């Protein structure tokens, strides 16, 4: 906590002092973010840092496993509220779902028995309970590490599909008002990979 307090002081004396006009303008004009950024709660994923985005540029939803429950049969709550607000009020032009390497949630999705003693985690990750079967079917011959990578990627793609289950998202995608991207952030190298629907592969950005 002391470290965080010292951090606040550092922020105010440095970043805020240098960008005071931006904050004052944002306070008066309100936010107009271009992007809804959906990622994992993992502390090693820092959206503004990895995209060099300024305050006011990313509308962020974080949860365990960067999951978007389907509107048809999922747990509706904070995630769906944020998507609705971002799409219909803020009218964001992009939605990014960003998974990451060594994600504890994906490990738990592949091995639900490891979190059986955590009822809230188990229930939440149940939203991606179709992933293990899919990995078995498509990547059954791969080793554990490659399977983990595949599960991280497939989980991102599953959330892009779930986003489409919201009629207002589907409408805006079809009209071209909205674009969606699926990313994976590689913690050890700082690289970001973007899903290319044409090749069916994740390709390095930047
Ligand atoms: Zn994670």
pLDDT digits (tens, 9 = 90+) for 148-180: 999 999 999 999 999 999 999 999 999 999 999
The values of phi and psi at residue 95, to 5°, are: -125, 125
Q: Which residues participate in catalysis according to the annotation?
A: 40, 42, 44, 100, 103
User: Which are the contacts of 97, defined by CB distance < 8 A and separation ≥ 6?
Assistant: 38, 39, 66, 68, 156, 159, 160, 163, 180, 181, 182, 183
- The pLDDT profile of the chain, 206 residues, written as one tens digit per residue, is 899 999 999 999 999 999 999 999 999 999 999 999 999 999 999 999 999 999 999 999 999 999 999 999 889 899 999 999 999 999 999 999 999 999 999 999 999 999 999 999 999 999 999 999 999 999 999 999 999 999 999 999 999 999 999 999 999 999 999 999 999 999 999 999 999 999 999 999 98
Question: What's the gap in Å between 108 CA and the centre of ligand 1?
Answer: 10
Q: What is the pLDDT of residue 74?
A: 86
Q: What is the pLDDT of residue 206?
A: 87
Token pair recorded at residue 134? 């899919």
pTM: 0.97
Token pair recorded at residue 8? 């606040």
Full 3-state SS string of 106-155: HHHHHCHHHHCCCHHHHHHHHHHCCHHHHHHHHHCCCCHHHHHHHHHHHH
Q: What is the pLDDT of residue 150?
A: 97
**Overall size of the chain counted in residues:** 206
The values of phi and psi at residue 192, to 5°, are: -125, 130
Question: What's the gap in Å between 60 CA and the centre of ligand 1?
Answer: 15
User: Which are the contacts of 86, defined by CB distance < 8 A and separation ≥ 6?
Assistant: 33, 36, 59, 92, 95
- Beta-carbon neighbours within 5 Å of ion ligand 1: 40, 42, 103, 105
CA atoms within 13 A on the CB side of 63: 21
Contact 156, 103 (CB under 8 A): no
Question: What's the gap in Å between 13 CA and the centre of ligand 1?
Answer: 32
Contact 194, 182 (CB under 8 A): yes
**H or E segment to which residue 196 belongs:** strand 191-196
pLDDT digits (tens, 9 = 90+) for 6-15: 999 999 999 9
Question: What's the gap in Å between 124 CA and the centre of ligand 1?
Answer: 13
Question: What's the gap in Å between 174 CA and the centre of ligand 1?
Answer: 30
């Amino acid at each position: 906590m002391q470290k965080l307090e010292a951090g606040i002081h550092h922020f105010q004396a440095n970043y805020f002092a240098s960008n005071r006009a931006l904050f004052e303008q944002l306070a008066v004009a309100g936010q107009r973010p271009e992007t809804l950024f959906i990622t994992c709660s993992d502390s090693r994923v820092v959206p503004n840092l990895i995209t060099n985005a300024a305050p006011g540029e990313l509308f962020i939803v974080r949860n365990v496993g960067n999951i978007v429950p389907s509107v048809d049969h999922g747990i509706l709550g904070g995630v769906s509220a944020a998507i609705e607000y971002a799409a219909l009020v803020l009218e964001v032009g992009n939605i990014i779902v960003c998974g990451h390497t060594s994600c504890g949630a994906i490990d738990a999705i592949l091995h639900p028995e490891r979190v059986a003693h955590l009822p809230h985690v188990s229930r939440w990750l149940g939203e991606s309970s179709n992933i293990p079967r899919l990995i078995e079917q498509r990547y059954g011959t791969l080793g554990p590490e490659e399977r983990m990578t595949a599960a991280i990627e497939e989980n991102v793609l599953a959330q892009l599909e779930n986003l489409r289950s919201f009629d207002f998202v589907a409408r805006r995608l079809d009209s071209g008002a909205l674009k969606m991207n699926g990313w994976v952030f590689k913690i050890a190298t700082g690289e970001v990979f973007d899903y290319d629907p044409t090749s069916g592969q994740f390709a390095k950005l930047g």
